[in-house]
Chain A
Amino acid sequence: MTASTIKFPASAEDRRIAALAAVGVGLTVAEAAIPLPVPGIKPGLANIITLVVLYRYGVGAAVWVSLLRIVAGALVLGTFLTPTFVLSLSGGVVSLAVLVLAARLPRAWFGPVGLSLLAAFAHIATQLWVVDLWLMPGLSIMGWLPVFLGAAWLTGLANGLVAARMLRDRPASAPAAAHAPLMRGPL
């Protein structure tokens, strides 16, 4: 047997992104086990990871971690390429776009909580739009709009506060400890 000539050299950053995405997948799976009253409303705990990564490692890493988490999470949950996945991906992509833009806002004025709220609103608005346009056209879901937006407000605030707390407790000054820095956090 000859040794394979195909090599996948993984840089330290690759490993870091993979580890962070894995934490996100863990949170996605964990919150899938929580029974929730209304379909479509969930805490979105994995967004905490996206926010922390955005602040600590930059926009590019946050996009990678978030998209990897969405695809891998769907594979783990068995929803890959189902409508659930499409909803998750569309919400994820648009809220990432909002985060990329919002990350340019002055840091003295806008912190993780504001970004989290914006991302949460973008996420649910996109999903409602996709449901209305593609999944269930004609079914009036707009009566549920206050409920969905209220939930986004609450989860956006909660996730933002958790992310702010994590960023404060473990500032980005220790790149040596960059491997799985979240494992020993408040989670």
Chain B
Amino acid sequence: MRDLKPLRPGDWGILCLGGLLVAWLMAAGPGGGDRVVVKQAGRVFLEASPRLNRMVAVPGPLGETQIEIRDGRVRVAADPSPRQLCVRQGWIRPGEAAVCLPNRVSVEWGQARYDSLNY
């Protein structure tokens, strides 16, 4: 076998394509989602559009968690949990989720999954 360079033309191709893919994904940001998904005890409590401003009260074992949807953003406005972790997280960035563990409520961005019920 003759001496070959560690990086051959095809390797450079794979390397550049992979790098481009990663760079593109990072630039596009977390594609996030176009739906707000609120779960209570692991079950979907509400799936809503982020464009409709509203306050949602989610009942949990400790009390009500208030979720605010405003101008395409979503946050946990109030929660009865002792450490207030999910409230202090503020507006949830696309791709992220806020979990109020003591009250078993989670808010996350999701993709719309169209099925016959959506229409």
A114 and B30 contact, CB distance less than 8 A: no
Of A114, A150, A164, A168, which contacts B15 at CB under 8 A?
A: A114
A117 and B109 contact, CB distance less than 8 A: no
Smallest beta-carbon distance A31→chain B, Å? 22
A140 and B4 contact, CB distance less than 8 A: no
* Distance of A62 Cα from B18 Cα, bound (Å): 24
What number of B residues sit within 8 Å (CB to CB) of A?
Answer: 34
Known: A114-B14, A140-B95, A142-B31. A153 touches B19 (CB 8 A): yes
CB contacts (< 8 Å) of A112 on chain B: these are 6
What number of A residues sit within 8 Å (CB to CB) of B?
Answer: 34
Secondary structure dominating the interface of B: mixed
B10 and A117 contact, CB distance less than 8 A: no
* Distance of A168 Cα from B7 Cα, bound (Å): 12
Q: Beta-carbon contacts of B45-87 to A below 8 Å, as 1s and 0s?
A: 0000000000000000000000000000000000000000000
Known: A107-B4, A140-B108, A149-B22. 15 other contacts (CB 8 A): A112-B6, A114-B8, A117-B18, A142-B31, A143-B30, A143-B32, A143-B109, A144-B95, A149-B21, A150-B22, A150-B26, A156-B18, A157-B15, A168-B6, A171-B1
